[in-house]
Amino acid sequence: MEVPKFAPYVVVGAGIHGLSTAYHLAKELRTRGLGSGADVLVLDKAGPGAGASGIACGVVRNNYFQPAMSELMQACVEVWESDPVAYAYNPVGYIALGAARQEADLTATFERQERIGYRSELILGDADVDAHMKRLFPDWRAQGVTACLHEHQGGFAFNMDSVHGLYGKCKEEGVAVLSGVEVTGFEDASDGSIAAVETSHGRVEVGEQVVVAPGPWAKRFWSMLGLPETIDVHTPSGDVVRDRPMWTYWNLQEGEVGLDPAIFATADGSAPPVIHLDTDAPLYTDDGRLVTDELWGIYFKRDRHSVQGGASPLVVEGDVALDPYPQTTDIDPGFPDLFCAGLSHAMARFEGCRPLYKVARSGGVGAFTADNFPVFDYFRPNLYAILDSNHGYKMIGVGKEVAAVLLGEHSRLLYPFRFERFATGDLHPVSSSPYPWS
């Protein structure tokens, strides 16, 4: 394969972030009269969607306790809404249901959504939550749920279809997206900037800037750039947590049940919102075995041929072999029981679904930062990294913001995600959710 010896802009990784950046950059170069998509080269060692973007459950939601995440997500949802067909986006909404201990967080999240104009409603108290859910799903029967945040924006998108949608937009703008080209290192210029990208197919001299969007391979690029494996984290209270690993891996547990998707519809026959249910009610299998009596949670959506979803991820100790992705994943053997029992706990229509659980290509490993939030920043004068800490299929708008930054603008939305926050203590507030991504 012919790899150009020079490109003004090199984007590494053809996942949601790399492709969104390339597309928006190409569009901006053209509309500002500064160039075109021919100035942008995307390199991927496998191909579009070969990483986390191609296996993501595809949930698009704004249930974030952190103000900066919430505002960034609002901008991302606008991008999803801008072309639902190309992005295979289903604007069905999203419902987060929580136990009493999550009420305060969900209320704060709702109040912020109201302030920023993100359409949602909050229902509190178990009777009112139950009534709200029964209006949508008459067989709703989940217990121990006292708070419900119903987001009327968001929903989900089909993972590979949206990647292909972005890929198509890149092609239309004249961006070259090359598969099977692995980036193996960077050649430094004397001023600390990146002079060239080294690849399995030779050297590509960089005219302007490089963007790396490596998804789960973040740690690999971190070390290629000579960045430290551990960092000191300064907390807002002034304490310093020394030598925290910059990267940890979590195993995202996801699966699907081969039910006719049509049975998962709302009372009026509409497509159902994505549902995320957390509760501390004891969870039993349909044949009466206790699965857990601690706080548990599942999320689920109607997929094309099944009902798909997941549960809380598990930390992976030490390093993981990422390639080939994501076959290295170990799903907790108890996950299918938990997921199917959780579905049945939520709605009677799912009772007896356990035998229909499918062993399919679902789940995978994600790379998380020291505080579990994204890092979007320059690490060399001309190298920008999109390290989304596994939050980011839904963050299709980050590439749009990054494109503006590459062209010299300040992004108010990306600023809170700068790497410097670990040194200054400007960390994001932490919610009481059991998930590393809320």
- Which residues bind to ligand FAD, rule: CB under 6 A? 12-18, 43-46, 50-53, 55-59, 182-183, 213-217, 252, 254, 363-364, 366, 386, 388, 390-394
For the bound state, the minimum distance from the C-beta of residue 184 to ligand FAD, rounded and expressed in Å, comes to: 7
Q: Smallest gap, in angstroms, from Cβ of residue 333 to ligand FAD?
A: 17
Nearest-approach distance from CB 391 to ligand FAD, in angstroms = 6
List the 155-157 sheet strands across, edge first.
59-60, 155-157, 89-90
Structure tokens at 31: 């509309």
- Determine how many CB atoms are found less than 10 A away from the CB of residue 293: 11
What's the CA dihedral at 277, 282, 284, 290 to 10 degrees?
Answer: 140
Nearer to ligand FAD, 98 or 363 (CB): 363
* Residue 40 beta carbon to ligand FAD: minimum distance, rounded to whole angstroms: 15
- Considering the complex, what minimum distance in angstroms separates the CB of residue 366 from ligand FAD? 5
Question: Least Å distance between CB 99 and ligand FAD?
Answer: 22
Residue number, 69 or 129, with CB nearest to ligand FAD: 69
Short-list 148, 137, 131, CA closest to 63: 148
Nearer to ligand FAD, 137 or 249 (CB): 249
Q: How far is the CB of 280 from ligand FAD (least distance, A)?
A: 24
Compute the 3-state secondary structure of the chain and give helix, strand, coil in percent, each to the nearest 5.
30, 30, 40
Q: Residue 225 Cβ, how far from ligand FAD at the closest point, in Å?
A: 12
Question: For residue 267, how many other CB atoms are within 10 A of its CB?
Answer: 13
How far apart are CB 358 and ligand FAD at their closest, in Å?
Answer: 15
Query: 170 or 252: whose CB is closer to ligand FAD?
Result: 252
Minimum CB distance to ligand FAD smaller for 63 or for 382 = 63
CB proximity list for 51: less than 8 A, separation 6 or greater: 13, 15, 214, 215, 216, 217, 325
Helix axes of 67-82 and 398-406: crossing angle, nearest 10 degrees = 100
Nearer to ligand FAD, 1 or 127 (CB): 1
CA–CA distance, 380 with 4 (Å, rounded to integer): 23
Query: Looking at 152-269, which runs of residues are DSSP E strands?
Result: 155-157, 176-179, 183-188, 194-199, 202-212, 230-234, 240-245, 248-252, 254-257
Tell the smallest beta-carbon distance from residue 127 to ligand FAD (Å): 31
Phi and psi for 371 in degrees, rounded to 5?
-115, 10
Give the residue with the Cβ less far from ligand FAD, 80 or 296. Answer: 80
Return the number of the residue (392 or 436) whose C-beta is nearest ligand FAD: 392
Q: Cα–Cα distance between 218 and 209 in angstroms, integer? A: 18
Nearest to 299 by CA among 269, 279, 278, 323: 278
Task: For residues 156 and 276, give the distance between their C-alpha atoms in angstroms, rounded to a whole number.
Answer: 13
Q: In the complex, what is the shortest distance from the CB of residue 218 to ligand FAD, in angstroms, rounded to a whole number?
A: 8
309-347 burial, b for 16+ CB within 10 Å, e for fewer? bbbbbeebeeebebeebbeebebeeebbbbbbbbbbbbb
| 106 vs 375, beta carbon nearer ligand FAD | 375
Nearest to 384 by CA among 6, 3, 4, 13: 13
C-alpha Rg value of the chain to the nearest Å: 22
Residue with Cβ nearer ligand FAD (140 or 217): 217
Please classify residue 417 by burial: count the beta carbons closer than 10 Å to its beta carbon, then call 0-12 exposed, 13-18 middle and 19+ buried: buried
Cβ closer to ligand FAD: 56 or 149? Answer: 56
